[in-house]
Amino acid sequence: MKNMDFSDFLPSGAGRIVHFGCRDGKTATHFRRIRPEVSYTGVAEDLPEEEIPGVDSLLSGMPEEAGESLLSGADCIIYEGTALSGLTPELLERHAACLPPGGQMVMVLGNPAYLGHFLAALSGKGLPDDLDVTLPGLQEMLAEAGLEACQVRRLLSREDESLWAEPAIQELLQAAVACQRGQGAEDADPRAVGYLVRAARKEEVRPLLIHSVLGEALVTARVRLLEPQAFCATEPGVRCGHSRRGEALPLADMGKSFERKLLIRQRMNFHTLEEARRQIQFLRKHGFLILFELDDNPVRWLEDYEETDWMDFRGSHACQVSTPALAEVVRQYNPHVKVFRNELRELPPPREYREDVPVTVFFGALNREEDWKDILPAINETAKKYGAGLRFRVLADKAFFAALETEHKEFVGDEGFCNGVFVPYPIYCSALHSADISLLPLRDTEFNRMKSDLKFIESAGHGAAVLASPTVYGESVRDGETGFLYRNSGEFAERLRLLVENRSKRLEIAEAAYRYVEQERLLSRHYGERLAWYGELLDRREELDRELLARMAGASEQNND
């Protein structure tokens, strides 16, 4: 099987990994961006001549030769390629005994039905030599060893995406699928290079379904739900999914095989009390724990929430929010509130700063005119002073872009994508990664105080030194160390000039902020807290359900009055 990066599917909280069949550093290198402190040991039958990037130590050997000294303390053991060929139930059972509670075994095997093998054969290339272990055979072996294959994922190659679009290849794909299904292989996928199988001790697997219904899918869903759930899904027995608001879903059928299941409603509102009661009753009847997710001031939807007497909050078993200030508001309607800060999914690659290019200032936010208008004169004065030595990159805010009195500015946007107001997240990250200074203005208002510091950790992760207001950012930016804070327009002008002129101080701040993100603000360090809280809520479901019904009854009485 061709080498692939399957780091996204490894247990995101793993502290130590032993990888049998480690042939290159793709998986190790990328996983280290997710979990920088991981200890990664590679084991290969034939050691390569050069060092493998991302791997702390590389040993020669096969799984059957591994002793307890190698495997003890590992949170995850990976078997890939030819390392699978020597596995037996007895060997798997022995290796599993070396794992701590919650430890995992991950098998990565090739797919004999992969259409790419057929195309390679046509071009005169031979088949890979690691296709002798099949998915059914591996699952049978795991069961015999007292382990459970709690997840099977297809591995698709991005390199093949353009290939499959060719009409002739599409015909081959359709024929291959029809042939496999005729043989009863319903799950076989000729586009899958291989499969990743996650296994754990049967007694440690407690199946959990987490399904989110997204009220806002374009911007906030990624950081608030999709990325945390992807990390949760790397744990044994956890299955995650999501849908858009208004999509018809067979939730009752979806949850039939799960005793522990929860539904997260994100950034939405019931339209009427009748609708609220009907949906809440439906979810309770089918055993779902109901959570409400909010990451912005509810005053934005005040009329809608008041219309149903805040039933989105009262009618949930618990609520999760992004900031302590927001939690205080939500607790007026539901006492069970948990704050989950926004974190980065992975640490961006370190910056390479060039000296032969102008200093770049980045600004990218919506609805900030009231926040930046008092500092605009200082920005324009600074732009005039440094001329071509200072350039601006602006995302989203067309009014700010127009107000900049300089020719050295660029608007990052695409009129074909959300009228240029938003850009795909990779483009946003690319613009940040090229910036030296990131401006983060927020006036001290009740609305702004409930915002999160996400833009600081994104800027810090991409190596841009921030100049920020103390509102929101004063809680996480260490002034003069991981960024600069300003309290008035005069201080803003002074510190902007310092950041532009003093390259060494700018890089010192950017490096300190980058290390702060690496050490404290990566999702791999925090997603376990979500799973633990979800587990606690599920254990208390009957108690929480009684409280939910009491809140709903109280709301109904107030509404009747």
First to last CA, the chain: 69
Per residue in 252-290, pLDDT (tens digit) is 787 788 999 999 999 999 999 999 999 999 999 999 999
Per residue in 86-122, pLDDT (tens digit) is 899 999 999 999 999 999 999 999 887 787 776 666 6
Number of domains in the chain: 3
Per residue in 547-556, pLDDT (tens digit) is 999 999 987 5
Q: CA 191 → CA 80, 127, 534, distances in Å?
A: 19, 16, 35
Query: Please, are residues 87 and 79 in contact by the beta-carbon 8 Å criterion?
Result: yes
Q: CA 151 → CA 200, 236, 559, distances in Å?
A: 10, 7, 47
Q: Mean pLDDT over residues 153-178, rounded? A: 68
Q: Is residue 542 over pLDDT 70? A: yes
Q: Same domain for 413 and 473?
A: yes
Query: Please, are residues 524 and 494 in contact by the beta-carbon 8 Å criterion?
Result: no
For the entire predicted model, the pTM comes to: 0.91
Helix, strand and coil content of the chain, in percent to the nearest 5, comes to 45, 20, 35
Q: Return the percentage of the chain with pLDDT > 70, whole number.
A: 90
Distance CA 76, CA 58 (A): 16
Task: Please report the pLDDT score of residue 252 as a whole number.
Answer: 75
Task: Please report the pLDDT score of residue 481 as a whole number.
Answer: 98
Could you tell me the two tokens for 20? 């049998």
Q: Same domain for 280 and 238?
A: yes
Query: Please, are residues 438 and 467 in contact by the beta-carbon 8 Å criterion?
Result: yes
- Is 88 inside a domain boundary? yes
Q: Which range marks the domain in which residue 26 is found?
A: 7-160+192-204
CA trace torsion 363, 447, 272, 221 (10° rounding): 40
- Is 525 inside a domain boundary? no
Q: Is residue 184 over pLDDT 50? A: no
CATH number at residue 72: 3.40.50.150
Q: Which of 152, 176, 204 is the last residue of a domain?
A: 204
The label of the residue with tokens 């049998």 reads 20
CATH number at residue 454: 3.40.50.2000
Query: Please, are residues 485 and 477 in contact by the beta-carbon 8 Å criterion?
Result: yes
| Core vs surface per residue 458-494: b (16+ CB within 10 A) or e | bbbbbbbbbbbbebbbbebbeeeebbbbbeeeeebbe
- Is 265 inside a domain boundary? yes
- Is 496 inside a domain boundary? yes
Distance CA 396, CA 399 (A): 9
Query: Please, are residues 268 and 295 in contact by the beta-carbon 8 Å criterion?
Result: no
